[in-house]
Structure 1
Amino acid sequence: MSSTSDTESPEEALRRSVQRQEAIVRFGTRALAARDLDVLLQHAVEEAATALDVEHVKILEYRPATEDLLVRAGVGWKEGTVGHEAFPVHLRSPPGRAFLTREPICIDDIRQNEEFDYSGFLRDHGVTSLVDVPIAWEGCTYGVLEIDSRSFTDFQDDTIHFLQGFAQFLAAAIQRKQEREVLFRELQHRIKNSLQMVSALLRLEQRKGDPSGFDRANEAVQAISLAYDQLQGSWEIGQVSLEEYLGKLCSRIIASLIGSRPVQVESEIDPVRVDFDKAVVLGLIANELVTNSVRHAFRKEEAGVIRVTLHVKDGEGLLGVEDDGQRASAGDQTKPGVVSRLLPAMARQLEGVLECDTEHRPGTRHVLRFPLSRQ
């Protein structure tokens, strides 16, 4: 084990500084590529060992269920240590005190130190000197990074400072990894919900025996797919911009359903973001109402306009879909049995109410009122 001393030459100090900087760069590169947390932690202990010329390094993770610190990664320890050996969390335990106080603990000779317990684990490995630093970020302490030496070592301030900086860098990498895992699980949950919704649509169309049922189900899938597109490249995975989402949804309907027909789809959407699940339901409702207008409100070569609006007033969202067709669209609730049976159910998912404006002439107008302030 090497440590900084007053007799260190400028050349040795420069070599040591370069060695530590290189370790930081290597770890940063490896951290970006690591997909698994265990791999990330193992990279960290390997680079710390190289940068500080120490025999033993370990990362300990706090386990709330057992209230201890488990060795998650290590270098130089006996086989079976990683994933099995755990340390208590109290003030006489070096890593325990570092975890509790969120301050570095430096011990030159633990054999002679009366403040700390000399554990059987450290005795078995002949550890004499050690440093523990917390791995923490705002509001969370993940665990502890520890370096150990079998020889008496007077750890200098620059070594401790480097280890603290390395632990902060590691904390940022762990936090990023954990956040991505949480977001991935959330995305999986949303995909499952969306697939269940598609399954319900397919079963309904199958029972109706409508020859165009497959096309309608496919349109619903496309509406859900557009919502997922809004999540690409964004950390705000739970939020979707309705202005962008519903605007693109209208454009897709124009391209796939209207084609060369003289029917226009106009949209006026307030800039508001909502939870992904809520956006998907809104998209399905808008898709169904606009599709009904395209197919039923206008004769084959008849010109017309379909307007999609979404406005926010007093914490409430107002989604409107109207057309100026001469015939009532299939969404007209004044004609029982014609309206899609899914629309009222989807409105209830939003804790909203879907109404048909029977006074709107010519054409059909639907308004969905739903709260924005709660799920």
Structure 2
Amino acid sequence: MATPPGQESVLAPVAATAVTRQELPYRLRQQSLLGEFGRSALQTRDIGQILQRATELCTQGLETPFAKVLEYMPDEKRLLLRAGVGWAPGTIGQVSLGIDMESPAGYAFHTGQIVISNHLQEETRFRTPKLLSDHGIKRAINVLIARGGEGNLPFGVLEVDSPDSGQFDLADADFLAGFAGLLGIAIERQRADADLEQALEHQAMLTREMSHRVKNSLASVVGLLRLQGRNAQSEEVQNALKDAASRITTIAQVHDHLWRSTRIGFVDIADFAGELCRKLQETVAHKVSCTFGHLMISADKAIPLGLLVNEIVTNSAKHAYPDGSGEIQVSGERRGADLHVEVSDQGIGLPNDFDIDQPRASLGFKVIKSLLAQLDGRIAVASNTPKGVTIQLDVPLEASAD
């Protein structure tokens, strides 16, 4: 004996499906639509698109012209129509429903139970929301869209509505519950992505702030060294303090680029080297030209590499042109897995008996070798023809450099 209209239990079986519907193709179609939605939900992070696609496929699967996703708005304590199919223009994103237990959607939201109403006009359990009566809706299914995690409020309710007479059954409700489950997973994934992005942005902000402060602190040290250098009585001490200030300035420049970089912990070697050469030209009586290809390298590479270029250019400025001024050329490019750097001049060249590996090599070259060892790099020094010196550096790059 059939249950009287309007008196169905929210979970009890309802009347048989219409005899005009072929059951097996209908259910297979629903399973196919569930699979299609699962695939599409994995291919986008846009939650608005996911919600809208769910309503579109639900109307296809239940052969109805109306469906909607109602999102719970905690501040208003209402369910906002967030996505949908079939509703009048200006409805989506504007109309909201109450969440009291007397509405089908509110009951589903509070209890988590599936609500099937096949005779809304005769319904005694719930009132019919004005939105449904305005669109001539006669029957509806409401299922909860839950979110993972203990203590999380549900996202809202997924509802399918029809203006024609007929019967939704529990298999239809299970189909809709499958969509709600997939929506809950997609929504939770988006929330986790948003939390991760926020955490990364916060980490990036802290990293940039730290680099900015380190750069400012190093700039203060440079100022003190230069002040001491000006007051020193010995020319040797003055030069030593000047060299120390120049090296610290190079480190400060790396940190300056770090806090301004779009990639945490990395600098663009072209921008960094170009600025380094401009700063060096301010301190030496020679033209310093720089040509580097764009390449992101880590700060662990950039700091010793910058110190290397600083040391080589400073040495060239001191020894290459004893009788006047000239040009020092700095260039760099990626060669396979290495960064290849050249510093050259057209000066007087090296002594005939020069050997970088000999203990009597200058302090500058000893510093260069020490820095190169940190980078696991290689160095080659050659006299140019007819004059000058070229120093070549090959430094292995990180796998993530680009």
Shorter-chain TM-score range? 0.5 to 0.7
Which residue of the partner structure matches residue 133 of structure 1? Answer: 143
Which residue of the partner structure matches residue 150 of structure 1? Answer: 163
Structure 1 residue 217: Cα displacement: 3.9
| Distance in 2, Cα, partners of 1:15 & 1:255 | 70
| Distance in 1, Cα, partners of 2:169 & 2:90 | 31
For the pair 1:168 / 2:181, whether they are aligned, the reply is yes
| Distance in 1, Cα, partners of 2:219 & 2:199 | 31
What SS does the aligned partner of 1:77 have? coil
| Distance in 2, Cα, partners of 1:77 & 1:171 | 23
Match of 1:17 among 9, 27, 50: 27
Which residue of the partner structure matches residue 248 of structure 2? Answer: 213
Residues 301, 207 of structure 1: alpha-carbon distance in 2 compared, 3 angstrom cutoff: closer
Residue 187 of structure 1 aligns with an amino acid whose one-letter code is L
Structure 1 residue 115: Cα displacement: 1.5
| Distance in 2, Cα, partners of 1:45 & 1:179 | 23
| Distance in 2, Cα, partners of 1:251 & 1:38 | 42
| Distance in 2, Cα, partners of 1:145 & 1:301 | 68
Which residue of the partner structure matches residue 346 of structure 1? Answer: none
**Percent of residue pairs bearing the same amino acid type:** 28
Which residue of the partner structure matches residue 275 of structure 1? Answer: none
| Distance in 2, Cα, partners of 1:191 & 1:52 | 48
Q: Is the 8 A contact 2:251 2:306 kept in 1?
A: no
For the pair 1:185 / 2:201, whether they are aligned, the reply is no
Higher RCO, 1 vs 2 (CA within 8 Å, ≥6 residues apart): 2
What SS does the aligned partner of 2:155 have? strand
Structure 1 residue 254: Cα displacement: 11
Structure 1 residue 63: Cα displacement: 0.8
Which residue of the partner structure matches residue 239 of structure 1? Answer: none
Structure 1 residue 49: Cα displacement: 1.3
Which residue of the partner structure matches residue 237 of structure 1? Answer: none
Which residue of the partner structure matches residue 47 of structure 2? Answer: 37
Gaps of 5+ in 2: 1-14, 223-244, 266-297, 309-362, 371-402
| Distance in 1, Cα, partners of 2:181 & 2:74 | 21
What whole-Å deviation, never above 9, does each CA across 1:179-214 have from its counterpart, x for those lacking one? Answer: 111211221122112111121122223333332235
Structure 1 residue 215: Cα displacement: 3.7
Q: Is the 8 A contact 2:219 2:252 kept in 1?
A: no
Count of aligned pairs between the two proteins: 248
Q: Is the 8 A contact 2:55 2:84 kept in 1?
A: yes
Residue 246 of structure 2 aligns with an amino acid whose one-letter code is P
| Distance in 2, Cα, partners of 1:208 & 1:52 | 73
For the pair 1:52 / 2:62, whether they are aligned, the reply is yes
Structure 1 residue 35: Cα displacement: 3.0
- Aligned ranges 1:146-295 → 2 under 5 Å: 146-209=159-222, 210-217=245-252
| Distance in 2, Cα, partners of 1:254 & 1:207 | 18
Residues 188, 254 of structure 1: alpha-carbon distance in 2 compared, 3 angstrom cutoff: closer
Structure 1 residue 7: Cα displacement: 4.0
Structure 1 residue 137: Cα displacement: 3.0
Residue 169 of structure 2 aligns with an amino acid whose one-letter code is Q
Gaps of 5+ in 1: 230-248, 260-295, 304-375
For the pair 1:121 / 2:131, whether they are aligned, the reply is yes
Which residue of the partner structure matches residue 100 of structure 2? Answer: 90
What SS does the aligned partner of 1:212 have? helix
| Distance in 2, Cα, partners of 1:5 & 1:135 | 25
TM-score normalized by the length of structure 1: 0.57
| Distance in 2, Cα, partners of 1:102 & 1:110 | 20
| Distance in 2, Cα, partners of 1:301 & 1:252 | 14
Structure 1 residue 170: Cα displacement: 1.1
Q: Is the 8 A contact 1:194 1:224 kept in 2?
A: no
For the pair 1:5 / 2:40, whether they are aligned, the reply is no
Q: Is the 8 A contact 2:81 2:96 kept in 1?
A: yes
Residues 24, 302 of structure 1: alpha-carbon distance in 2 compared, 3 angstrom cutoff: closer
Residues 203, 252 of structure 1: alpha-carbon distance in 2 compared, 3 angstrom cutoff: closer
Which residue of the partner structure matches residue 368 of structure 1? Answer: none
Q: Is the 8 A contact 1:67 1:88 kept in 2?
A: yes
| Distance in 2, Cα, partners of 1:56 & 1:182 | 33
For the pair 1:62 / 2:72, whether they are aligned, the reply is yes
Structure 1 residue 251: Cα displacement: 8.5
What SS does the aligned partner of 2:121 have? coil
Residues 152, 251 of structure 1: alpha-carbon distance in 2 compared, 3 angstrom cutoff: same
Residues 86, 250 of structure 1: alpha-carbon distance in 2 compared, 3 angstrom cutoff: closer
Residue 218 of structure 2 aligns with an amino acid whose one-letter code is E
Structure 1 residue 33: Cα displacement: 2.7
What whole-Å deviation, never above 9, does each CA across 1:109-132 have from its counterpart, x for those lacking one? Answer: 111112111222111100010000
Residues 217, 53 of structure 1: alpha-carbon distance in 2 compared, 3 angstrom cutoff: farther
